[in-house]
């Protein structure tokens, strides 16, 4: 008797399946793809912040040998991009931001294209610049978009309870104004696209780094006025997304229009400077937050008024209130909540979506207020959070349903592993002692969607599974691998169902022609949604296999199991038949069959109503992060020493991948808090390069202690939740709290650069910095 | 009321879907694919015909900068390729043919690789050459393969009835010896492959022109000793196959071993000269045929003895008796049949499979004998064929079952459209008249498999179908498009089921990772087998759609129909709902669903038993072709003037594609008969280039009159049968019969080159040619 042991890949440390190719330099990014007959596209951008376009003369550019197409707004349909459809791919009337696209060229080589750009003559008439969003709605402010004469791009109003009543019941109230700055995604792979029309059908293939291939089909069809069924999106491995590739941006239709005009494939790839100037940013915000609590720490109300600088055009940045309000309304039990946000036009750059999607900004404010309330009440930061923390089974004022919630375990785990209570007290006591090196520890917590976010009529994902005659499985999933490790997790989940080793599964996920629908990579949804979809397809395959095995073994399907590449007897693991043999017997029988299955998974979450009420995600992720820092009060330099993180991940699927996600997120949050600053002054970007824009690099990465809370979500794949965005969210808040712990000074403006910190410390003591 | 008219693409003239890309120069053949880090592989071939290898010195080649790997037989596993596993990728003991592979190099550039080949020193000891297969089994003949000391590679013996009895019942008997020469496929795209290992998993991807990707996975796994599930075959558009890419040939594993040794992707592409020297040929044969008939023309028996020159190694050429015997046993009703074939080793090139797979050779002999018997009996060629022709419902001595048979209609249609009877008589009467320009007309007919050939445990094909939210359909089919137009036919069949325009369907068919199993492109099977598979998947999709439509319309599914991209009321065509709207309502409903289906089709044909009995194909194709020629008796030049062809195609699916197949096949058969001749002398190929190997070109293409007989096969997709090989099969026989009609001389040796014809005409009159 041969017994096949039961084994599982769940929770193991599994290297990412796409890692070897990337490490070996074999990965072919959009930069590496070249189609026969391909031209190079380049965009002429304005050098003005706000100006009327008087004339554009492209005659010399068109006459340059090697130039195949020169386009201006006059050559393309007048359809705007983005959330408010206010961003024409090429600007014909006026320019509103420094990144604005005026003309585009397709030429045989990059050199010729750049030469052609130089030959284009634009005459402008300058307009007054609106650079401060606080001025946008003042009387007499320059109008940025004629369709919105009040300069208001978007407003969001949400409420539950009655904040006036909440305020009455409060023993303490704190109010602050917070400023959240510009940062940008800094993807290692810059933006790029190749547009290719089929010669006679006119069908369009896009090699695109988009994070949402299936939504892109629809969006491109609207922009281009063509049947979306005739648009195919091939997604090469992308060099980082982080939300920057959710929207459609001008360079993409520009490449398509160039390809159409030139009747040749056109490749358009940004330079690094262009990436800094013309890719989206994280949404800057000015938040006024008022919070109250009772003596015992019970929260009473929260009132928020936020001003978002929308820049010249409206992309996803303006919609971050969808996520922000969840933190205000539902991270803690808040009986009364009032939320108002206004996004106003200016002549500044515009923001897109960015990992965390407004939650870094919201958490920055809420989690500082938790410490401020605690301080006023004489409570410690952990206690006030435990007092108000959500638990499994709760339904929040906004209608969010917490089926699995490890929030309190996150808080206590992070606190105990970091020795938070003792250190917090010690460091506070050392504030007044002599010396310029002050240590501090700070806690922040967060909630984020962990099972998708139904912002589209469907939040689902389809999977097609097929097996060859040798037991090799291919899953074609709608979900995209953009570096987050989803390919590996999906393969693990399929292996778990089918009792196979990891290398028996291939994941195909990069071509809308082949893969079924998925809403795209955002909202930390892929493991949860695509995972459930893959499991569904695998279970159907298992049914087919075990039923076939039952027929040839005189056992019933439920007496059988799949393990280690074999069909085995469930009771004792005795090997019944190697899987390949069974597959071939199925294939080569009279009623020949292949194992091919399909599955579509749609989560039970709902589209929120007009009042923003509803359970938008199938589950929610929780985390607490504690930062230990040292502040040099002479220089303002803040050094992040250690991060203790505890995340409710539902269940650990790939421990290595999960650690990578958490570590990467922590570092991204660290950069947001301490070093990164896209300096926009009077509409101009002053530091479009890595010399002047400081990313966190290896030597600055802190010690990390990461714990996973396994709340075993009932609907999650093997109990897991999404965690892609979570680790970046708490960092700025935790560091702010740590700086306060170290110095007694509360910093409300990001980033905590040496200059900003130094100024704040001096100013707090009544000093003046010149 | 909006009525959607019923429309159909079946029988229409549809340009091939891949034609625009090819015409526009956008198609990327294996030659155009370059992987990052790729090296160029080159093979050192011997310049001897038969020799022992004394030593190979690769030291200098290995030392050349830019060389990454140099391999000889000593470096690779000892596993032989081909039908008899007698062909090691690299030869270590001795060379047996002029094409033999001695060593291989992978280098940074082609120049360096070629330079390295020059530096390899091989010492040989010549062996006696065996160039005439008639000598192979003579005592004392040199032994080619030690494992087969009798030089017999393979034998085939088939019989039904009792030929002795048949001979007794005969009123006339004819016997002849026929010689069939070497030709080669002359694919416009030469052979090539790229082998690429994944860095850590060791999984292998092959960019291969193979016609049988799924069988290739298994065959490569045997050669390489690796799990076939870990081999992925990507098939770029191939520049012609015609059977030449059915087997695995030495260059393919050589490229893999080079990639393994160099740890880099290796691309190995033939030069045109190499393609002539080292790609397969059509199987040459020496056939002795004896046939008898009664006075009324009724056939009595047929006895065949064939000697196949197997060359130095055994590829598919040796197995053509599988197909040859069908023509001998079953083209006509033959009560007694005896078939013996022996394939013997020699030092000549070896043959692979080639469009028609032995049937050109068999038909050449059988169809001349039909004319010879008719002549002896004073019957006309049409009459004797009509007398013995198969009909629907017959089961032959070999067990072939004719469910649909338009053979007689083919014969009568071709005869009447070409005015055969009158011309045949006229031209015969003009033989003796003065003048050197003689006209002749000749008829030949054929049977060929039209619904696959079950030579493997399965002859089926899988299809996966998915629809997007906009009504665009992708089918992923196991079947390969290799220029035969299958992509277009499959799309048509799916459109017919789903009431869609052609451009609503994309066909994905080039990657074993994505597509389900199919046995490959051979045996004229793709339209029939893959067509039925695609229809199955489309019908399941239609069921899903009409059932969903039924739910929202208060009608039953069978009251609904799909037409022109709409769901309509079946009774009157009234538009009920656009398809995209229905698909989105299905997707965005509570019980969200996508339309994804899978189907596997396995034909009812059987694997023949050891006596070669059994119904090997799901249906059979029939044809009659009539050639009109002019012979210049002074020069031996035969000019093909007109071909009248009538083909039982079951049903016309794509009229334009079908005409293209027939026209191309006619020209290929014309080349086989008249101009093509791979001149092998003492084992050497004398004419490895298009200067000396004469393909038929545009000016020589005859007038063609093509008729389609629609026998509406009950099992065929929309009634269709396979027809890929059929049109090449009759040509040589029909031209031979026409030359006889023109000159009274029977030519039994191919090709009918001016020299051969002139010699034959002179010799027939007792003359001598020096």
For B329-345, the pLDDT digits (tens) are 999 999 999 999 999 99
For A642-663, the pLDDT digits (tens) are 999 999 999 999 999 999 999 9
| Binary contact (A517, B460; C-beta < 8 A) | no
| Binary contact (B37, A25; C-beta < 8 A) | yes
User: Around A730, how many Cα atoms within 13 Å sit in the side-chain half-sphere?
Assistant: 32
- Inform me whether the pLDDT recorded for A674 exceeds 90: yes
- Inform me whether the pLDDT recorded for A770 exceeds 80: no
| Binary contact (A23, B199; C-beta < 8 A) | yes
- Inform me whether the pLDDT recorded for A633 exceeds 90: yes
pLDDT band at B205, cuts 50/70/90?
very high
Mean pLDDT for B379-386 is 98
What interface predicted TM-score (ipTM) does this complex get?
A: 0.95
Closest CA to B89 of B30, B129, B41: B41
Residue of B nearest to A35 (CA): B26
pLDDT band at B770, cuts 50/70/90?
confident
Residue of A nearest to B592 (CA): A602
Euclidean distance between CA atoms A167 and A165, whole angstroms: 5
Least confident of A129-133, A196-200, B349-353: A196-200
Nearest to A472 among B229, B458, B596 (CB): B229
pLDDT of the residue at A142: 97
| Binary contact (A462, B460; C-beta < 8 A) | no
pLDDT of the residue at A1: 78
Residue of A nearest to B226 (CA): A470
| Binary contact (A469, B218; C-beta < 8 A) | yes
For A381-391, the pLDDT digits (tens) are 999 999 999 99
The number of beta carbons lying within 10 Å of the beta carbon of residue B31 is 13
Question: Looking at CA atoms only, how far is residue A476 from chain B in angstroms?
Answer: 8
Residue of B nearest to A265 (CA): B26
Q: Is-cis flag, bond preceding A423, omega within 30? A: no
Nearest to B468 among A15, A200, A517 (CB): A517
Helix (H, G, I), strand (E, B) or coil at A739: helix
For B713-753, the pLDDT digits (tens) are 999 999 999 999 999 999 999 999 999 999 999 999 999 99
- What is the side-by-side order of every strand in the sheet holding B437-449? B437-449, B620-632, B637-648, B703-709
Q: Which two tokens stand for residue B251?
A: 């260059």
For B558-572, the pLDDT digits (tens) are 999 999 999 999 999
- Chosen for mutation from B21, B455, B592 (greatest number of chain A CBs closer than 10 Å) is B592
Chain B residue numbers touching A198 (CB-CB < 8 A): 20-21
Residue A102 contacts residue A45 (beta carbons within 8 Å): yes
- Cβ contacts of B217 within 8 Å, gap of 6 or more: A468, A470, B228, B229, B231, B232, B233, B512
pLDDT band at B764, cuts 50/70/90?
very high
Which residue has 């890692």 as its token pair?
A19
One-character DSSP codes across A328-374: HHHTBT-S-EEEEEEEEE-SS--B---TTTTHHHHHHHHHHHHHHHH
pLDDT of the residue at B1: 78
For B32-45, the pLDDT digits (tens) are 999 999 999 999 99
Helix axes A359-377, A321-330, angle to 10 degrees: 20
CATH T-level topology, domain A19-26+460-601: Aldehyde Oxidoreductase; domain 4 (3.30.365)
Nearest to B229 among A25, A28, A504 (CB): A504
pLDDT of the residue at A590: 83
For B36-76, the pLDDT digits (tens) are 999 999 999 999 999 999 999 999 999 999 999 999 999 99
Mean pLDDT for A625-640 is 98
Chain B residue numbers touching A605 (CB-CB < 8 A): none
Q: What is the separation, in whole angstroms, between the first and last Cα of chain A?
A: 84
Helix (H, G, I), strand (E, B) or coil at A709: strand
pLDDT band at B590, cuts 50/70/90?
confident
| Binary contact (B471, A229; C-beta < 8 A) | yes
For B677-710, the pLDDT digits (tens) are 999 999 999 999 999 999 999 999 999 999 999 9
Which residue has 């994941």 as its token pair?
A507
For A590-606, the pLDDT digits (tens) are 889 999 999 999 999 99
Q: Which two tokens stand for residue A645?
A: 């993180």
| Binary contact (A503, B201; C-beta < 8 A) | yes
Question: Looking at CA atoms only, how far is residue B593 from chain A in angstroms?
Answer: 6
For chain B, percent of residues with pLDDT exceeding 70: 100
Question: Looking at CA atoms only, how far is residue A696 from chain B in angstroms?
Answer: 30
Residue B363 contacts residue B179 (beta carbons within 8 Å): no
In this structure, are strands A299-311 and A337-345 parallel, antiparallel, or unpaired?
parallel
Question: Looking at CA atoms only, how far is residue B230 from chain A in angstroms?
Answer: 7
In this structure, are strands A101-107 and B684-685 parallel, antiparallel, or unpaired?
unpaired
Nearest to A229 among B203, B472, B514 (CB): B472
Euclidean distance between CA atoms A130 and A640, whole angstroms: 37
pLDDT of the residue at B735: 98
The number of beta carbons lying within 10 Å of the beta carbon of residue B107 is 27
- Inform me whether the pLDDT recorded for A360 exceeds 90: yes
Fold agreement (B19-26+460-601, B46-127+190-238+245-278) = no
Computed over every residue of chain A, the mean pLDDT equals 97
CATH T-level topology, domain B285-453+609-764: Aldehyde Oxidoreductase; domain 4 (3.30.365)
- Cβ contacts of B105 within 8 Å, gap of 6 or more: B41, B42, B44, B61, B67, B69, B70, B71, B113, B116, B117, B120, B258
Nearest to A588 among B20, B230, B458 (CB): B458
Q: Which two tokens stand for residue A356?
A: 């965390």
- Inform me whether the pLDDT recorded for B207 exceeds 80: yes
Q: Where are the domains of chain B?
A: 19-26+460-601, 46-127+190-238+245-278, 285-453+609-764
Mean pLDDT for B606-625 is 96
Nearest to A199 among B20, B36, B214 (CB): B20
Question: Looking at CA atoms only, how far is residue A269 from chain B in angstroms?
Answer: 19
One-character DSSP codes across A239-295: S--TTTTSS--THHHHHHHHHHHHTS-EEEE--HHHHHHHS-BPPPEEEEEEEEE-T
- Chosen for mutation from A229, A491, A518 (greatest number of chain B CBs closer than 10 Å) is A229
Nearest to A20 among B35, B37, B198 (CB): B198
The CATH number of A46-127+190-238+245-278 is 3.90.1170.50
């Amino acid at each position: 008797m041969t017994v096949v042991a039961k084994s599982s890949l769940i929770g193991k440390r599994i290297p990412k399946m796409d890692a070897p190719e990337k490490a070996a330099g074999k990965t072919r990014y959009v930069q590496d793809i070249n189609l026969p007959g391909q031209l190079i596209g380049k965009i002429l951008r304005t050098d003005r912040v706000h100006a009327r376009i008087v004339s554009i003369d492209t005659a010399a550019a068109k006459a340059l040998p090697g130039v195949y197409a020169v386009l201006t707004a006059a050559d393309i349909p007048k359809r705007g991009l983005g959330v408010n459809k206010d961003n024409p791919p090429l600007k014909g009337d006026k320019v509103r931001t420094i990144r604005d696209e005026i003309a585009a060229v397709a030429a045989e080589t990059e050199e010729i294209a750049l030469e052609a750009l130089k030959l284009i003559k634009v005459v402008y008439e300058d307009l007054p610049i609106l650079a401060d969003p606080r001025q946008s709605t003042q009387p007499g402010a320059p109008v940025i978009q004629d369709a919105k004469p009040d300069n208001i791009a978007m407003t969001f109003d949400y409420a539950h309870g009655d904040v006036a009543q909440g305020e009455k019941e409060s023993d303490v109230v704190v109010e602050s104004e917070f400023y959240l700055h510009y940062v940008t995604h800094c993807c290692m792979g810059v933006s790029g696209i190749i547009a290719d029309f089929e010669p006679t059908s006119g069908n369009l293939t896009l090699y695109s780094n988009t994070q949402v291939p299936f939504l892109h089909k629809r969006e491109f069809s609207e922009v281009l006025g063509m049947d979306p069924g005739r648009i195919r999106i091939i997604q090469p491995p992308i060099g980082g997304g982080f939300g920057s590739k959710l929207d459609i941006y001008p360079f993409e239709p520009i490449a398509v229009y160039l390809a159409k005009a030139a009747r040749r494939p056109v490749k358009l790839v940004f330079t690094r400077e262009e990436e800094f100037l013309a890719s989206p940013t994280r949404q800057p915000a000015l938040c006024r937050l008022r919070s109250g609590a009772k003596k015992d720490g019970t929260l009473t109300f929260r009132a928020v008024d936020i001003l978002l600088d929308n820049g010249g055009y409206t992309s996803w940045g303006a919609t971050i209130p969808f996520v922000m309000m969840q933190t205000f309304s539902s991270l803690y039990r808040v009986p009364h909540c009032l939320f108002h946000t206004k996004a106003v036009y200016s002549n500044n750059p515009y923001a897109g979506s960015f990992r965390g999607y407004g939650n870094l900004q919201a958490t920055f404010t809420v989690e500082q207020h938790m410490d401020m309330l605690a301080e006023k009440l004489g409570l410690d930061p952990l206690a006030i959070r435990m007092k108000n923390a959500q638990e499994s089974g709760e339904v929040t004022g906004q209608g969010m349903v917490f089926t699995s919630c490890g929030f309190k375990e996150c808080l206590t785990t992070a606190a105990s592993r970091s020795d938070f209570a003792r250190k917090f007290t010690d460091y506070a006591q050392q504030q007044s002692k002599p010396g310029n090196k002050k240590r501090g520890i700070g806690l922040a917590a967060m909630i984020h969607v962990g099972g998708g976010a139904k912002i589209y009529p469907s939040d689902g994902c389809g999977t097609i599974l097929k097996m060859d005659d040798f037991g090799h499985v291919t899953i074609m999933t709608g979900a995209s691998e953009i570096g987050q490790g989803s390919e590996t997790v999906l393969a693990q989940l399929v292996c778990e169902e089918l009792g196979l080793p990891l290398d028996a599964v291939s994941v195909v996920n990069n071509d809308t022609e082949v893969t079924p629908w998925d809403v795209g990579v955002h909202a930390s949804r892929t493991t949860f949604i695509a995972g459930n979809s893959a499991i569904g397809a695998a279970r159907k395959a298992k049914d087919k296999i075990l039923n076939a095995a039952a027929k040839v073994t005189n056992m019933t399907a439920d007496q059988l199991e799949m393990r280690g590449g074999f069909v085995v007897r469930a009771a004792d693991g005795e090997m019944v038949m190697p899987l390949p043999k069974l597959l071939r017997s199925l294939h080569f029988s009279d009623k020949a069959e292949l194992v091919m299955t399909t599955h579509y998974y749609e989560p039970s979450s709902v589209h929120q109503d007009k009042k923003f009420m509803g359970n938008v995600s199938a589950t929610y992720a929780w985390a607490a992060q504690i930062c230990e820092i040292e502040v040099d009060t002479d220089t303002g330099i803040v050094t992040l020493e250690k991060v203790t993180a505890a995340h409710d991940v539902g269940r650990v699927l790939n421990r290595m991948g999960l650690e990578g996600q958490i570590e990467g997120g922590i570092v991204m949050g660290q950069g947001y808090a301490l070093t990164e600053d896209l300096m926009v002054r009077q509409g101009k970007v002053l530091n479009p390069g890595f010399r002047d824009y400081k990313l966190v690099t290896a030597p600055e990465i802190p010690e990390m202690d990461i714990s996973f809370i396994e709340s075993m979500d009932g609907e999650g794949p093997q109990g897991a939740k999404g965690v892609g965005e979570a680790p970046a969210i708490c960092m700025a808040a935790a560091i702010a709290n740590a700086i306060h712990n170290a110095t007694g000074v509360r910093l409300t403006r990001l980033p905590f650069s040496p200059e900003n910190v130094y100024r704040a410390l001096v100013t707090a003591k009544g000093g003046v910095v010149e």
